A = this chain, B = another copy of it.
């Protein structure tokens, strides 16, 4: 389990960029962060639907955070990109299995979920964005893009 998808990593970098710049267009985020423009557009749109960013269309438009970076928890970002954390189906759908309460595997997975959620709630975007260095590190990118 548990490779973080490129999409989520891009989202975090794009949001850190917005936190530091105060707002920017997809094209400029793309070239600053070395992420394919078209792919990034979809990511930003997804973040918008989740209420994490707001956008202005047309010339001079772009994206901004919808609230202070310190109020955006890392778990909000992960949830926006990937939906709720669910290591196995039955953790949030008890109808999958009739044994709910007494099922030890389920309790085990539930504990794992709690552990991860706890961590992701303990860090916010401001923590990441205030650092002097927010690099390309940790993207899983294999090659350079043209960002055209």
Seen from chain A, the residues whose Cβ lies within 8 Å of a Cβ on chain B are 1-5, 8-9, 12-13, 16, 74, 78, 82, 85-91, 96-97, 99-100, 102-106, 108-109, 111-112, 115-116, 118-120, 123, 127-128, 131-140
Query: Across the two chains, which residue of chain B brings its CB closest to A96?
Result: B137
The distance in angstroms between the C-alpha atoms of A9 and B4, with both chains bound, is 20
Cβ-neighbour of A88 out of B111, B116, B120, B140 (below 8 A):
B140
Task: With A88-B140, A133-B104, A138-B105 as known contacts, state yes or no: A4 contacts B4, CB within 8 Å.
Answer: no
Residues of A contacting B: mostly: helix
- Whether B2 contacts A137 by the Cβ 8 Å rule is no
Task: Find the residue from A88, A116, A133 having the highest chain B CB count within 10 A.
Answer: A88
Distance in Å from the Cβ of A89 to the closest Cβ of chain B?
5
With contacts A9-B88, A88-B138, A128-B104 known, is A4 near B99, CB below 8 A? no
Contact, CB under 8 Å: B74 / A108:
yes
A108 — which chain B residues lie within 8 A by C-beta? 74, 123, 127-128
Residue in contact with A137 in the complex, picked from B103, B127, B134, CB distance below 8 Å: B103
* Bound form: Cα–Cα A108–B140 in Å: 15
Q: Which residues of B contact A90 (CB under 8 A)?
A: 137-138
A137 to B97, CA, bound (A): 5
